[in-house]
Structure 1
């Protein structure tokens, strides 16, 4: 077999992995461009900050607005300011009052958060938006935030929610979200306990401060005692000198009489 004949099969073998890799990359690329939500803590009942990432425009058109729809199980949302956008929250009335994490009766909820760009976001750049809220106490549930991305030309609705048992990667425009994890036992309750510990420490410090004047008084008494002892010492020394002077004077008189 000639070397030329042997080279052809080897070339075909080398081309196959390259073609397979190219196909795989073409399938992965669109998924990585989805609008995503990444929580700082996905535990049930935890207070979290979810970061929503927008990676591209609408088929090449710059992004002008991002509308994030808040799931009904989340009552209150606090958006983080973004200097390149105007932010607006839409509030809606609840059908029935609910109780929040602090035991307060709530009659309304945040339904949407809208970021409107002051300067359109170019297609080749990405941006992030942060929402702060309490994760619902629903371990294992998928918490989805359907998002509408509006561009100078057209829009993309990232609103598809997978059905039970369906893989999110099968969706063309999946809504950003995350699966709620088991409660960690930490969160605002732990913060309150730490706050109580700080108050206890402050109380102990104040008590020590209240007792401090007594110690200062004892020290002052000791200083007074030292001052009194010094005064008596000086008085004794003066009396001794006067007695010595009187004795010398009497001796001089006796000698002069003799």
Structure 2
């Protein structure tokens, strides 16, 4: 290999190494944030949102996590974690809010507050889970500004990207969930399952009707045989009397 080829090879290796390092740094930064891992994101569905607490505030352990719910949500059900106590904070609305089912509410759950029974070791992680009903409109990103209090210091994960801004460029981005459209195939499967159930019910009904007719015929036949036996018995008695 000549010197020119060697320089090109070394240059390509350096570029590849630098790119890999940047990618690893980006992944490390993302994993260091308080973030949400949803089990589903479909509009108008119930979802479990897992908030990951990957570290403390530098070398200080986490003592409290205050999760602010977006205005699109009216409530959330926190999952019990044995290492934390939990409370729901309600907010009185400036005016009644009408829900999709036609009812109205005057209060909503605005915050979920988890308090550690003992400070979470800054080198350990934990997960806190909320159950929520996602909005019925797809295409919107829900942000959950979260305040992480530690024994010393705090981190306010509340930055929301502006239009066109990359969320990964933010120092303390708010945990978020992007609401997606329902899968049409899932709806078709549900419809197919309903049709299959109806067909099965129809078959069951037909079978029941057949059994009913068979029972009726057997009953009539039994009456006929019983009547014939009765008349034979009377005829036999009459013959003996003569």
2:136 maps to 1:134 = no
| Residue in structure 1 matched with residue 103 of structure 2 by the alignment | 104
Look at both structures and tell me which one has the larger radius of gyration over its CA atoms: 1
| Residue in structure 2 matched with residue 251 of structure 1 by the alignment | none
For the residues of structure 1 that align with 2:209 and 2:47, how far apart are their CA atoms?
42
Structure 2 SS opposite 1:222: helix
Tell me how far 1:175 sits from its aligned partner: 0.4
Q: TM-score of the superposition, structure 2-length normalised?
A: 0.73
- Verify the 8 A CA contact 1:159 1:174 in the aligned structure 2: yes
Which range moved further: 126-135 or 161-170? Answer: 126-135
Tell me how far 1:234 sits from its aligned partner: 5.2
Q: From the superposition, tell whether residues 138 and 118 of structure 1 become closer, same or farther in structure 2 (CA, over 3 Å).
A: same
Structure 2 SS opposite 1:143: strand
2:100 maps to 1:90 = no
| Residue in structure 1 matched with residue 167 of structure 2 by the alignment | 168
Q: From the superposition, tell whether residues 113 and 216 of structure 1 become closer, same or farther in structure 2 (CA, over 3 Å).
A: same
Q: How does 1:156-195 map to 2 (within 5 A)?
A: 156-182=155-181
| Residue in structure 1 matched with residue 55 of structure 2 by the alignment | 56
The answer for unaligned runs of 5 or more in structure 1 is 247-258
Q: From the superposition, tell whether residues 11 and 164 of structure 1 become closer, same or farther in structure 2 (CA, over 3 Å).
A: closer
Aligned-residue CA RMSD in angstroms? Answer: 4.4
For the residues of structure 1 that align with 2:236 and 2:213, how far apart are their CA atoms?
35
For the residues of structure 1 that align with 2:185 and 2:38, how far apart are their CA atoms?
16
| Residue in structure 2 matched with residue 146 of structure 1 by the alignment | 145
For the residues of structure 2 that align with 1:82 and 1:212, how far apart are their CA atoms?
55
Structure 1 SS opposite 2:82: coil
For the residues of structure 2 that align with 1:88 and 1:99, how far apart are their CA atoms?
25
CA deviation string 1:15-68 (max 9, x = no partner): 735565345423431222211123333233333332222222221333222111
CA deviation string 1:121-151 (max 9, x = no partner): 3333322222222323444332100011222
For the residues of structure 1 that align with 2:185 and 2:20, how far apart are their CA atoms?
44
For the residues of structure 2 that align with 1:221 and 1:84, how far apart are their CA atoms?
72
Q: From the superposition, tell whether residues 150 and 95 of structure 1 become closer, same or farther in structure 2 (CA, over 3 Å).
A: same
Structure 1 SS opposite 2:51: strand
- Verify the 8 A CA contact 1:64 1:119 in the aligned structure 2: yes
For the residues of structure 2 that align with 1:80 and 1:117, how far apart are their CA atoms?
14
| Residue in structure 1 matched with residue 112 of structure 2 by the alignment | 113
Structure 2 SS opposite 1:229: helix
| Residue in structure 2 matched with residue 66 of structure 1 by the alignment | 65
**Would you say how many aligned residue pairs link Structure 1 and Structure 2?**
232
For the residues of structure 2 that align with 1:102 and 1:186, how far apart are their CA atoms?
26
Structure 2 SS opposite 1:81: coil
CA deviation string 1:198-256 (max 9, x = no partner): 89x99x989x989988975664443333233334445656777x59xx9xxxxxxxxxx
The answer for unaligned runs of 5 or more in structure 2 is none
Q: From the superposition, tell whether residues 224 and 138 of structure 1 become closer, same or farther in structure 2 (CA, over 3 Å).
A: closer
For the residues of structure 2 that align with 1:214 and 1:14, how far apart are their CA atoms?
85
